[in-house]
């Protein structure tokens, strides 16, 4: 149940990001100065943490999507769906731990120095 909810929530978050990304990229044609201001906002630590959240959402959505495909198209999928969910969560945690410094290095250096 919760994996279903998480899959839908991450899908909506990714859609919202794509919508905002298209809008901010369109600013280049309308007002290059406004675009520069938006890009400067993206370099703040708060937005950097949000980028880490975006990575988390995309990664979970992708891994859980593969699990959903396996449940739907593999004859033994429904039998092993709980084990596959815990595998997805485990892989997600490992990959998110590995992405922690590469994604957040700008914020970590800003807050704690080089």
The fold for domain 1-112 equals 3 helical TM bundles of succinate and fumarate reductases (1.20.1300)
pLDDT tens digits along 11-50: 999 999 999 999 989 988 999 899 999 989 988 999 999 9
Q: Are 6 and 60 in contact, with CB atoms under 8 Å apart?
A: yes
2-30 vs 45-73: helix crossing angle, rounded to 10: 130
Give residue limits of the domains in the chain.
1-112
Q: What is the DSSP letter of 76?
A: T
pLDDT tens digits along 68-113: 999 999 999 899 999 999 999 999 999 999 999 999 998 999 888 8
């Amino acid at each position: 149940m919760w994996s279903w909810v998480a899959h839908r929530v991450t899908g909506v978050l990714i859609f919202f990001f794509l919508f905002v990304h298209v809008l901010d990229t369109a600013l280049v044609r309308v007002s290059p100065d406004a675009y520069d201001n938006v890009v400067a906002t993206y370099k703040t630590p708060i937005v950097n943490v949000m980028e880490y959240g975006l990575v988390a959402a995309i990664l979970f959505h992708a891994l859980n999507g593969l699990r959903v495909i396996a449940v739907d198209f593999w004859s033994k999928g429904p039998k092993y769906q709980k084990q596959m969910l815990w595998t997805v969560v485990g892989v997600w945690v490992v990959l998110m731990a590995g992405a922690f410094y590469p994604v957040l290095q700008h914020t970590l250096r800003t807050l704690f120095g080089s």
